[in-house]
Amino acid sequence: MAPDINALTQGSSLQRDGLNHQAIEDYLKTIYMLEQEESPVSTSRIAAARDVKPGSATSMIQRLDKLNLVNYVKHYGVTLTESGREIALEVIRHHRLVELYLIEALGFSWDEVHEQADLLEHVISEKLEERIAAALNYPEFDPHGDPIPSREGEVSELHTYRLTSVLPGTVVVISRVLDDADSKLLRYLGTLGLVPGVSLKVIDIAPFDGPITIELDKETLIVGHKVADSVLIMPVDETEGTLAP
Amino acid sequence: MAPDINALTQGSSLQRDGLNHQAIEDYLKTIYMLEQEESPVSTSRIAAARDVKPGSATSMIQRLDKLNLVNYVKHYGVTLTESGREIALEVIRHHRLVELYLIEALGFSWDEVHEQADLLEHVISEKLEERIAAALNYPEFDPHGDPIPSREGEVSELHTYRLTSVLPGTVVVISRVLDDADSKLLRYLGTLGLVPGVSLKVIDIAPFDGPITIELDKETLIVGHKVADSVLIMPVDETEGTLAP
DNA sequence: GTTAAATTTTAGGCGCGCCTAAAACATACT
DNA sequence: AGTATGTTTTAGGCGCGCCTAAAATTTAAC
């Protein structure tokens, strides 16, 4: 399905030529993530996400556009092209496989794998990717509950909601924890037992970004709005698909 | 033992700051290797090893000198400083640990790990390094027989000779295979059974870079000069230290 | 010791990925 | 419409890591 085999994306492998693709891959990944929320993506959102100045983002986007990795309309926004999306998904696949591997095979903890995976994701060959996936028995979800894109670029999407957005009384299962949260927050969630796969009941949600009261394992727990906001859930009645581990 | 804690080498970890140290690490590693053969190292040797033009090497060396990672005397040569050596050894440690890990844990073959390790060596955190070392039970040698530097920068050196430089009749044990040989050559050596740990008898060495006749496993084998030259050995009588696996 | 050859260094240029500051554009309000 | 506000783009600059081409230095040869 590779549409435009140019010098850059040939063979869908990224580090064949001498170029340093790290920055390109990071931008494409960022744009992919932001497009999930809202598309097209403005340059300022990209700049904020990548923590660079708006002008820097603009010039990088112009380069990506020339490389046919994004479609860019001035003053309007950015969307990924098919080849851009392919690269983004490959990097995300690397990232999530590596995160899981660090935990399963090398004893890392849940909250400390993100940074290391951000480095490794750019230097994983096709072969290593395959071996890691095989060692993990071709998993569908990473430790944060994020879906791992298939090699063909398919992503099992669960329709999830934020824990802060359900009605009191609902019983839910945690499907994902946003892994862009900082690792202290993740560790805190771990100690509370708020990890993917766990089910809980929402008792109360206080207004004005107030605390959320939940029942978990017969215990009542009260967590802040910010904490609850990085927890994604599925209502327990419409549980049908595969669930994260 | 860190001598000069400046912004670059603080804490002896390399990717703390935002800088891209890949190139610096590659140069230091190259210089370390070349210093093993002959010190000081000329810019042209560095340029050849790194496959860049002499002028490029010179300007990089000047930067390394400013960073206090090498001592550089114009028209004379380059030597590593203590901090330069520390970094070089850390990268080499990463490289060799990763090579062994790819083989032991992920089923890679002997001859295909080098390129992947060259990429990974720059993005291994202290923690990941430790976990990999632990998983391998703190090995002393990598699959090519190269010594893995300790975290403190100690290298178990075996006094080795080239297979091409011993006298006919000598019984020897293969201690290392030069891993800068290309992977086809490595694969060929593997099929012949010429891997670290194996012992063999040298029957004859033809002059003028001619073929080498050896006896291995009761079989007589004739290999070319170039092939034999990438095999390092220890005479079997003075076997005392630990041997490569 | 002068000259020729080889090595090494300098000078100047280029693309990357970032910056700051100024200009262009879009939006929202009178 | 006109103006103020905020966003986005352009312009120009900087360090990195490479290049080519010319200048300087060392080495070897006569």
Q: What would the DSSP string read from start to end of B176-216?
A: EE-TTS-HHHHHHHHHHT--TT-EEEEEEE-TTT--EEEEE
Model confidence pLDDT, tens digit, residues A164-184: 888 888 888 888 888 777 778
Amino acid in the structure at residue B150: S
**pLDDT mean over B183-195:** 85
What integer pLDDT is reported at residue B41 of this predicted model? 97
Least confident of A68-77, A89-98, A109-118, B46-55: A109-118
The token pair at A176 is 């994902």
Residue of B nearest to A99 (CA): B128
CA–CA distance, A17 with A10 (Å, rounded to integer): 9
As a whole number, the mean pLDDT across chain A is 85
Q: Which residue has the higher pLDDT, B229 or B90?
A: B90
Model confidence pLDDT, tens digit, residues B66-120: 999 999 999 999 999 999 999 999 999 999 999 999 999 999 998 899 999 999 9
The DSSP annotation for B61-127 comes to HHHHHHTTSEEEETTTEEEE-HHHHHHHHHHHHHHHHHHHHHHHHH---TTSHHHHHHHHGGG--HH
Q: Give the A:B interface size as CB pairs under 8 Å.
A: 42
Whether A237 has a pLDDT exceeding 70, the answer reads: no
Specify whether the CB–CB gap between A114 and A178 falls below 8 A.
no
What integer pLDDT is reported at residue B245 of this predicted model? 44
Cβ count near A140 (within 10 Å): 16
The pLDDT-based confidence of B9 (bands split at 50, 70, 90) is: very low
The pLDDT-based confidence of A108 (bands split at 50, 70, 90) is: very high
Model confidence pLDDT, tens digit, residues A139-162: 998 888 889 999 998 888 777 888
CA distance A28 to chain B (A): 20
Determine whether the distance from the CB of A44 to the nearest atom of strand C is below 7 Å.
no
What integer pLDDT is reported at residue B40 of this predicted model? 95
Kindly report the bases of strand D lying within 7 A of a protein C-beta atom. Answer: 7-12, 16-22, 25-26
Of A130, A102, A128, residue with least CA distance to A114: A102
Model confidence pLDDT, tens digit, residues A66-82: 999 999 999 999 999 99
Across the interface, whether the CB atoms of B108 and A119 are under 8 A apart is answered: no
What integer pLDDT is reported at residue A245 of this predicted model? 44
The pLDDT-based confidence of A52 (bands split at 50, 70, 90) is: very high
Measured between beta carbons, the chain A residues lying within 8 angstroms of B119 are 15, 123, 125
What integer pLDDT is reported at residue A207 of this predicted model? 84
**pLDDT mean over B45-51:** 97
What integer pLDDT is reported at residue B64 of this predicted model? 97
CA–CA distance, A188 with A197 (Å, rounded to integer): 17
3-state SS record for chain A:
CCCCCCCCCHHHCCCCCCCCCHHHHHHHHHHHHHHHHCCCECHHHHHHHHCCCHHHHHHHHHHHHHCCCEEEECCCEEEECHHHHHHHHHHHHHHHHHHHHHHHHHCCCCCCHHHHHHHHHHHCCHHHHHHHHHHCCCCCECCCCCECCCCCCCCCCCCCEEHHHCCCCCEEEEEEECCCCCHHHHHHHHHHCCCCCCEEEEEEECCCCCCEEEEECCEEEEECHHHHHCEEEEECCCCCCCCCC
Å between CA of B245 and C1' of D7: 63
B108 in reach of chain A (CB within 8 A): yes
The pLDDT-based confidence of B219 (bands split at 50, 70, 90) is: confident
**pLDDT mean over B12-39:** 78
Of the partner residues A15, A119, A135, the one whose CB lies closest to the CB of residue B15: A119
Å between CA of A52 and C1' of C20: 13
Determine whether the distance from the CB of A60 to the nearest atom of strand C is below 7 Å.
yes
Q: What are the backbone angles phi and psi of residue B142, rounded to the nearest 5°?
A: -90, 175
Model confidence pLDDT, tens digit, residues B53-68: 999 999 999 999 999 9
Measured between beta carbons, the chain A residues lying within 8 angstroms of B120 are 120, 123
Measured between beta carbons, the chain B residues lying within 8 angstroms of A103 are none
Measured between beta carbons, the chain B residues lying within 8 angstroms of A97 are none
What integer pLDDT is reported at residue A74 of this predicted model? 95
List beta partners, residue B73.
B77
CA–CA distance, A168 with A182 (Å, rounded to integer): 27
Residue nearest to nucleotide C8 (CA to C1'): B75
The pLDDT-based confidence of B237 (bands split at 50, 70, 90) is: low
CA–CA distance, A31 with A41 (Å, rounded to integer): 7
Parallel, antiparallel or unpaired: strands B199-205 and B212-216: antiparallel
What integer pLDDT is reported at residue B5 of this predicted model? 29
Q: Above pLDDT 90, what percent of chain A? A: 50
Best A106, A112, A114, A132 member to test B by mutation, with max B CBs in 10 Å, is A106
What integer pLDDT is reported at residue B12 of this predicted model? 38
